Amino acid sequence: MVDIMNYKNFDIFSPIIVVLLVILYLVFSFVAFNYHLKELVGININTIGIIFLGLIAYIIGMISIKYLLKNRKLSIKEEKLEKITSEKIILSCVILGILLQIINMIYLGGIPLFSGYLKAHAATRIWLLSYLLFLPSINILLAKYHDRRYYILFIVGLLLFVCTGYRTTAIAIVLSVLITIYYTRNLPWKYLFIALVAIFILLLVVGYVAVQSIEWQTWTLNPLELLFYRAGYTLQVLDHAVLLQGSTHGQLLYNTLMGFFKSSDPRVIVGLTTLGYAHSTTSMIFGPALLDFGLYAMLIQMFIIGGLMNILYYIQRSLGGIYVALYAMLIAHVIIWIETGPTDLVIILFFVISIIITIYTITIEKEGNKWI
């Protein structure tokens, strides 16, 4: 049994990183505005205010959890945990995820990374199942079982998902595994720095290759310009969303939950609503809730995300093991949400899976009495 409040005072991958990265994202955006990349024009000051209100709600959610968990202790239900995370089960899930991704590539008839047409159809039901199996399993495998051979599976899986052309998927895999290793292997700062630089380069390369492979694309931006432009463009979309609060009446949430099964993309609705044409468009972590239900819904969303991430952070810092893997997977996706927004069913499923596993395998106690 471990004191739940016993964790490091400074931690680069604590939930507060989301706040810092949003601010960095704004800096990138204003660089793009300053140089008028592809005629970006900037945003209204009210949009900045709404962003900071969202960040304040996120921080309040974090703080609320800190007080809720004060003077409580955690313990693991070992038998239940072993039933669902044995090495044989987790390894089988990783291999099955890799095999499904290979099948998906065969089904598509090519490599989506090099074809805009194939990329538009790469997120099949096979892809969804493959990603659902591979990402949590590879992180749990590396967190719980320290076998260097498993890094080969990580690299193979990463390369296969890179080939789909979705940079966010590649970044999620690399970033979550990095966070898992950071917590479970006492990764030295110099290696952490090298890994972060590698992730940055991967982001540039995959994003640039994916854009250049779109057959109808005529852009002439270099990889670095494209990175800054993307931030500025997405912030401008959010600026439109601020003026159109509540205009989609819950369609984004509905299509996030059901769209995959109906072959509809909530980000296309974002593009249609904010820009006037049907194009898959991101609106930052704040945009979808604003468009669906308005400011108060966005603040509630940010409060919930802040609270969930902080409780999972406390749990993984106290108990380690698979809880590190679950936290790493989720914080990686929340970081990606800064740009894309919460419009992916698969990530919501990751949250649901993580919460169920956590409730099923741990006990929270206060003053000798079981709380959960």
Region 124-135 average pLDDT: 93
CA pseudo-torsion sign 279, 164, 340, 210: negative
CB neighbour list of residue 163: distance below 8 Å, 6 or more residues apart: 105, 111, 112, 113
Q: What average pLDDT does range 213-235 have in this prediction?
A: 76
d(CA 325, CA 164): 24
Q: How many residues does the chain have?
A: 372
Q: Where is pLDDT greater, at 157 or 371?
A: 157
Q: Give the residue among 41, 17, 66 at the shortest CA–CA distance from 196.
A: 17
The token pair at 86 is 């044995």
What is the model's pLDDT at position 280? 85
DSSP state of 249: T
Question: Which of 4-18, 135-149, 240-254 is predicted with the least confidence, judged by mean pLDDT?
Answer: 4-18
Sign (positive or negative) of CA dihedral 250, 252, 258, 261: positive
Ranges of each domain in the chain: 2-370
> Which pLDDT score, from 0 to 100, does residue 371 have?
46
Chain segment 14-73, per-residue pLDDT in tens: 999 999 999 999 999 999 999 888 878 889 999 999 999 999 999 999 999 888 877 778
Average pLDDT of the segment spanning 268-277: 93
pTM score, whole prediction = 0.90
Residue 121 has pLDDT above 90, yes or no: no
Residue 237 backbone zone (phi > 0: left; psi -120 to 50: alpha; other: beta)? alpha
The helix (run of H) or strand (run of E) holding residue 2 is: strand 2-3
Position 210 scores a pLDDT of 59
Residue 315 has what pLDDT? Answer: 93
Q: Which residues share a beta bridge with 369?
A: 366
As a whole number of angstroms, the distance between CA 197 and CA 5 comes to 32
- Greater pLDDT, 264 or 172: 172
User: Which amino acid, 259?
Assistant: G
pLDDT for 6 equals 42
Q: Say whether pLDDT at 335 is over 80.
A: yes
Work out the pLDDT band at 108, boundaries 50, 70, 90: confident
Cα distances (angstroms) measured from residue 5 to each of 22, 258, 282, 316, 361: 27, 39, 37, 11, 19
pLDDT at 8 over 50: no
For residue 219, give Cα distances in angstroms to 37, 190, 215, 227, 229: 11, 36, 11, 13, 11
Contact indicator for 342, 348 with CB cutoff of 8 Å: yes
Between 355 and 73, the higher pLDDT residue:
355
Rounded Cα gap, residues 61 and 297, in angstroms: 14
Residue 290 to residue 296: CA distance in whole angstroms: 8
pLDDT, tens digit (0-9, with 9 covering 90-100), for 301-328: 999 999 999 999 999 998 999 999 999 9
Q: Express as a percent the part of the chain with pLDDT over 70.
A: 91
Residue 1's pLDDT band (boundaries 50, 70, 90)?
very low
Q: How confident is the model at residue 4 (pLDDT cuts 50, 70, 90)?
A: very low
Q: What is the pLDDT of residue 111?
A: 84
Q: What's phi and psi for 252, nearest 5 deg?
A: -65, -45
Task: With a cut of 80, say whether residue 368 has pLDDT above it.
Answer: no
Measured CA to CA, the distance from residue 219 to residue 123 in angstroms comes to 24
CB atoms within 10 A of CB 84: 14
Region 118-132 average pLDDT? 85
Could you tell me how far CA 280 lies from the centroid of its own chain? 18
